[in-house]
Amino acid sequence: MKRAFLSIATAVVLIVAIAPTSAQTFPTDDPILRAIWTEGMENTQAYDLAQVLSDSIGPRLYGSPQAEGANHWAVSKFQSWGIEARNEEYGTWRGWRRGVTHVDMIAPWVRTLEAMMLSWSPGTNGPVEAELAVLPHFANAVDLESWLPTTAGKYVLISMPQTTCRPDANWEEYATDESLEAMQEARGLAQDAWNQSMEAVGGESAVVEGLEAAGAAGVFRSRWPGNWGHQNISRAPTQSIPAIGLICEDYGLLHRLVSNNQGPRVRVNAEAEALGDVPVYNTIAEIRGSELPNEYIVLSAHLDSWDGGTGATDNGTGTVIMMETARILKQVLPNPKRTIVVGLWGGEESGLIGSRAFSEDHPEVVEGLQAVFNQDNGTGRVVRISMQGLTGAAGLFGKWISQVPTEITQHIDLNLPGTPGGGGSDYASFVCHGAPSFSLSSLSWDYRYTWHTQRDTFDKIVFDEVKNNVVLTAMLTYLASEDAERMPRDQRLMPTNPRTGEQMVWPACTPARRAYERP
């Protein structure tokens, strides 16, 4: 089935700063819409909210003290605006506090490396000096078993070294066709050989388990997102020894020195504190409906983050958008027809845990949903909204968005009817129930270069874009709240999967993980 698109306007890639002006194009003369625009564009608190969340509270790794601190801060802010709010406990997770990570190469010369302990990793219990080892090519599990004893007391590099740490765009701009083709071929051959070797022994988890049993001092890993000096920070693959992430350039340096028998040594000091099982929360705020209190609009964003950077665009921006939307609506629409709920979810990065728990614990909200508006892919202005496979949603959604000023709608494509999302962000926790849940998808702004990296920091936020999204979300929420019609839930006939030839099915709901299960 060919997907249909309703284009409100072609999404442009130019940076458009939406400055407060008297020349906005309002399709209707609605005083609430005009008040939302004025408050969102001229009196915004987005900068202040984002700065505190990103810089002062900092990264919000699931189960960390900063994550709980963010919960309490958000409740306090909502209450200061006259909005009822609470932290709703739904389970536990492994508590962990990050300390200092410092890694120096001390031979064959001295260099402080750009390194960071991976999340939930054990620490070193003080500085440790060690030699290094790299994974050889394994033909089978016997090769792995015979090699493991040589790793005792060493830091082992467990990732494939990159052929080049130059971004592909740099090669494409400057290299000759022959040089580019040669690099790509070399990288492809290296990746194939690495994949075959890892497959022969059962993958990274089998290697790490063997290293821990063999007495390795720790592991270095590098996950490169394709840009200068970046690395993805994610969970440690280890249970009992430290796991350290290195940027592509420093990882390659160590790997070459080991491979050429040039005697590198490192000094590693990685501080971490395991805190046991700790409670985890969703922050829930509510503006109660005056006429239809059992029908709901949910403003959805996740509050947790990885902790390589400060979680500014994943998902500090989404969190700020939903908080600022609630603040504005409390001011300009204190008595909405339907109940407006803000859900700042925990555990999205560990599997949509908080939003799944909420949908399980509050079936009355799922049943009464008029709409969920979710934002979770960076700082860019919203350019695409899918109807998530709901065939009747387009008419009502189109009516709402047709009342939003063209300064905002000119960038947006509606995907009709779209296909239901099975994961990726918290909207999926409601889509699986067949509820109207919409992802406000943003312009990239090279999101993959900040996503889950140490570069996801406050300075990457583009506040003209954030203000645009606040005003859009607030207007859609107002229009959804006051509409006399209820959002229909008719589901599309699911298309055929082009890869398998089988008919797709509506995504099933995955139960929330209420506790961390240790291997």
- Three state DSSP letters for 255-296: HHHHHCCCCCEEEEEEEEEEEEEEEEEEEEEEECCCCEEEEE
Mean pLDDT (whole number) for 237-246: 98
**How far is Cα of residue 276 from the mean position of the Cα atoms in its chain?**
25
Side chain identity at residue 32, one-letter code: I
Question: In the predicted model, is pLDDT for residue 391 greater than 90?
Answer: yes
What would the pLDDT profile of 25-55 be if each residue is shown by its tens digit? 888 889 999 999 999 999 999 999 999 999 9
pLDDT (0 to 100) of residue 264:
98
**Every domain of the chain and the residues it spans:** 4-9+25-94+278-482, 109-263
pLDDT (0 to 100) of residue 26:
86
* Rounded CA separation 215/492 (Å): 55
* Rounded CA separation 129/311 (Å): 32
* Rounded CA separation 78/74 (Å): 6
pLDDT (0 to 100) of residue 27:
86
Q: Calculate helix-pair angle for 463-482, 31-42, nearest 10 degrees.
A: 160
| Four-residue CA torsion sign, 186, 192, 196, 199 | positive
Task: Specify the 3-state DSSP secondary structure of 7.
Answer: strand
pLDDT (0 to 100) of residue 23:
58
* Three-class SS of 380-436: CCEEEEECCCECCHHHHHHHHHCCCCHHHHCCCEEEECCCCCCCCCCCHHHHCCCCC
Question: In the predicted model, is pLDDT for residue 321 greater than 60?
Answer: yes
CA-to-CA separations, 103 to 117, 130, 238, 239, in angstroms, rounded:
10, 11, 18, 20
Helices (H) and strands (E) in the chain, counts: 15, 15
Residue among 223, 248, 283 at smallest CA distance from 451? 223
Mean pLDDT (whole number) for 415-443: 97
* Rounded CA separation 408/471 (Å): 9
What would the pLDDT profile of 151-184 be if each residue is shown by its tens digit? 999 999 999 999 999 999 999 999 999 999 999 9
What would the pLDDT profile of 484-512 be if each residue is shown by its tens digit? 999 999 999 999 988 888 999 999 999 99
109-263 CATH fold: Glucose Oxidase; domain 1 (3.50.30)
pTM over 0.95: no
| Spatial contact of 399 and 393, defined as CB atoms under 8 Å apart | no
**Average pLDDT of every residue of the chain:** 94
4-9+25-94+278-482 CATH fold: Aminopeptidase (3.40.630)
DSSP state of 10: P
Confidence grade of residue 61 (pLDDT, cut at 50, 70, 90): very high
